[in-house]
């Protein structure tokens, strides 16, 4: 019987990717492969699974969808990891010893911490750069081996001009990796712009239900893919099959979830911009946002993450205490709307204002979300 074939749009790929071959009596979706080892009589047989730290059919199903969503259809592929940070650690293992690593100055705090630790150990020389300033990135690339950036950034929601930056890096023979967690593969595909590796915290939108911690790297470079496979085998930073299965289940609905979340985020951003207790709304969908022009030109949407600046840290803290529907919690990308004053986390960089509150917009009704948020904001006056 014919398999799903293709090429299809991302909305279809999310649904049909990673399915078992279509045959009478075959399951429609992959199972959870719970085995640590595989039957293997005789000599080593290349291509056959051997051990659960090397191969797992549930990972492979998820990996094939992630690779397809990021536009990989030949060499390379995706690799899933125990967490986004396990993926980031694997990614940094690709950066040569002694190399100059340029990294977005306002990247997710633990990714920044991991890069700083490499620098402190003398493994790399580190340069921090403002990813929203393409000229600064160009200048940094003049003396760099590897550029790692996140766009939009967490939690300042700054936007990098990825097409321009990937071109600049390629011209300067600098390798590029992009953390695509906030945009998801639905809004941008850095590999198709020339980036070498894409990083995802699968924990977030891809899984989408706040019940999984998982990460992924995607590359179209066969040599880098091979090195990453080796690194995952030797470090053992593998995903659990159940988590991989849950993430794959989440990916099936990513396009519909994300469309709804993005629509609600845009509406809330507009309303928040008119609220007297809000000093600033950070959302690239707003025409006045510093990232608006670049996002409108380079992305297929503005995403579902926004941040607001209030008068001071006290107001921000009180807001997270007074909401009833929004859940005061870290993380993002799930079906439930989350709210967090980011500087409550001691490791959050000082570049993040004390009064900044990050909002991860979920699937609840927009009017319910607004009445809860606006009532809490009204109470601050
Ligand atoms: C942009 C970004 N990258 C990477 C990570 C790390 O992912 P994980 O928490 O799955 O290890 C996070 C986590 O918040 C993140 O927001």
Q: Which residue has its alpha carbon closest to ligand 1 atom 11? A: 84
pLDDT of 160: 98
DSSP helix/strand/coil, 237: coil
Atom of ligand 1 nearest to the CA of 86: 11
Helix ranges (DSSP H) in the chain? 10-16, 57-69, 84-92, 109-120, 134-141, 162-171, 184-187, 222-235, 241-252, 254-273, 292-298, 313-322, 366-378
199 CA to centre of ligand 1 in angstroms = 9
Atom of ligand 1 nearest to the CA of 215: 10
Q: Taking residues 115-143, what's their average pLDDT? A: 98
pLDDT of 275: 98
Structure tokens at 210: 């706040």
Ligand 1, pocket-test mutation among 104, 115, 154, 348, most atoms within 8 A of CB = 154
Q: Are 76 and 220 in contact (CB under 8 A)?
A: yes
C-alpha distances out from residue 364 to 260, 322, 326, Å: 9, 18, 9
Q: Identify the residue whose tokens are 């059919």.
A: 57
10 CA to centre of ligand 1 in angstroms = 23
Question: How would you classify the pairing of strands 305-309 and 327-328?
Answer: unpaired
- Overall residue count recorded for the chain in this entry: 381
- In whole angstroms, what is the distance from residue 130 CA to residue 106 CA? 7
Greatest pairwise CA separation for the chain in angstroms: 76
pLDDT at 4 over 80: no
Give the chain's mean pLDDT: 97
Q: Identify the residue whose tokens are 């750069």.
A: 129
- In whole angstroms, what is the distance from residue 361 CA to residue 303 CA? 10
Atom of ligand 1 nearest to the CA of 87: 11
Q: Is the sign of the CA dihedral 152, 137, 353, 278 positive or negative?
A: negative
- 184 forms beta bridges with none
pLDDT at 351 over 80: yes
215 CA to centre of ligand 1 in angstroms = 8
Task: Please state the φ and ψ torsions of residue 219, each to the nearest 5 degrees.
Answer: -145, 150
Q: Which residue has its alpha carbon closest to ligand 1 atom 12? A: 201
Ligand 1, pocket-test mutation among 203, 303, 345, most atoms within 8 A of CB = 203
Residue 7's pLDDT band (cuts 50, 70, 90)? confident
201 CA to centre of ligand 1 in angstroms = 5
Q: Are 146 and 93 in contact (CB under 8 A)?
A: no
**What is the per-residue DSSP string for 324-344?**
SSSEE-S---SSS-EEEEGGG
Structure tokens at 262: 């993005």
Atom of ligand 1 nearest to the CA of 153: 1
Task: Please state the φ and ψ torsions of residue 340, each to the nearest 5 degrees.
Answer: -155, 135
pLDDT of 153: 98
- Domains assigned to the chain: 10-252 (3.40.640.10), 254-378 (3.90.1150.10)
Helix axes 254-273, 241-252, angle to 10 degrees: 70
217 CA to centre of ligand 1 in angstroms = 12
Ligand 1, pocket-test mutation among 91, 114, 152, 204, most atoms within 8 A of CB = 204
Atom of ligand 1 nearest to the CA of 204: 10
Q: Which residue has its alpha carbon closest to ligand 1 atom 14? A: 331
What digits encode the pLDDT tens for the residues 143-183?
A: 999 999 999 999 999 999 999 999 999 999 999 999 999 99
- In whole angstroms, what is the distance from residue 82 CA to residue 308 CA? 31
pLDDT at 1 over 60: no
Known catalytic residues are: 53, 108, 179, 204
108 CA to centre of ligand 1 in angstroms = 7
Atom of ligand 1 nearest to the CA of 213: 10
What digits encode the pLDDT tens for the residues 196-250?
A: 999 999 999 999 999 999 999 999 999 999 999 999 999 999 999 999 999 999 9
74 CA to centre of ligand 1 in angstroms = 27
pLDDT of 5: 65
pTM for the full model?
Answer: 0.97
pLDDT of 329: 98
- In whole angstroms, what is the distance from residue 31 CA to residue 34 CA? 9
What digits encode the pLDDT tens for the residues 254-281?
A: 999 999 999 999 999 999 999 999 999 9
pLDDT at 342 over 70: yes
Q: Are 242 and 250 in contact (CB under 8 A)?
A: no
Q: Which residue has its alpha carbon closest to ligand 1 atom 13? A: 201
Structure tokens at 357: 């509150």
Q: Which residue has its alpha carbon closest to ligand 1 atom 7? A: 84
Q: Which residues lie with the beta carbon below 6 Å from any ligand 1 atom?
A: 83-85, 108, 111, 150, 154, 179, 181, 201, 203, 213, 215
């Amino acid at each position: 019987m014919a398999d799903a074939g293709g090429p299809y749009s991302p909305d279809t790929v999310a649904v049909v990717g990673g399915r078992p071959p279509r045959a009478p009596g075959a399951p429609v979706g992959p199972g959870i492969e719970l085995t640590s080892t595989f039957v293997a009589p005789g000599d080593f047989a290349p291509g056959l699974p051997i051990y659960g730290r090397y191969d797992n059919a549930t990972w492979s199903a998820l990996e094939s969808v992630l690779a397809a969503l990021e536009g990989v259809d030949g060499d390379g592929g995706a690799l899933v990891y125990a967490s986004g940070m396990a993926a980031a650690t694997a990614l940094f293992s690709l950066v040569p010893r002694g190399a100059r690593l340029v990294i977005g100055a306002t990247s997710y705090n633990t990714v920044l911490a991991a890069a700083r630790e490499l620098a402190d150990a003398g493994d790399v020389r580190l340069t921090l750069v403002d990813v929203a300033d393409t000229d600064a990135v160009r200048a940094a690339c003049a003396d760099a081996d590897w550029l790692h950036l996140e766009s939009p950034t967490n939690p300042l929601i700054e936007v990098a001009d990825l097409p321009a930056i990937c071109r600049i890096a390629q011209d300067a023979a600098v390798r590029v990796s992009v953390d695509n967690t906030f945009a998801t593969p639905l809004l941008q595909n850095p590999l198709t712009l020339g980036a070498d590796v894409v990083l995802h915290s699968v924990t977030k939108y891809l899984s989408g239900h706040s019940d999984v911690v998982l990460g992924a790297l995607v590359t179209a470079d066969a040599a880098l893919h091979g090195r990453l496979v080796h690194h995952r085998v030797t470090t053992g930073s593998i995903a659990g099959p159940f988590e991989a299965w849950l993430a794959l289940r989440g990916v099936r609905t990513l396009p519909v979830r994300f469309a709804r979340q993005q629509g609600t985020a845009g509406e809330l951003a507009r309303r928040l911009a008119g609220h007297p207790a809000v000093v600033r709304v950070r959302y690239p969908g707003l025409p006045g946002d510093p990232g608006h022009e670049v996002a409108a030109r380079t992305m297929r949407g503005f995403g579902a993450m926004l941040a607001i600046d209030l008068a001071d840290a006290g107001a921000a803290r009180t807001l997270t205490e007074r909401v009833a529907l929004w859940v005061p919690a870290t993380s993002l990308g799930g079906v439930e709307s989350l709210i967090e004053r980011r500087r409550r986390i001691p490791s959050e960089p000082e570049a993040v204002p004390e009064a900044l509150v990050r909002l991860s917009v979920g699937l609840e009704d927009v009017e319910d979300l607004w009445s809860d948020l606006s009532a809490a904001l009204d109470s601050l006056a």
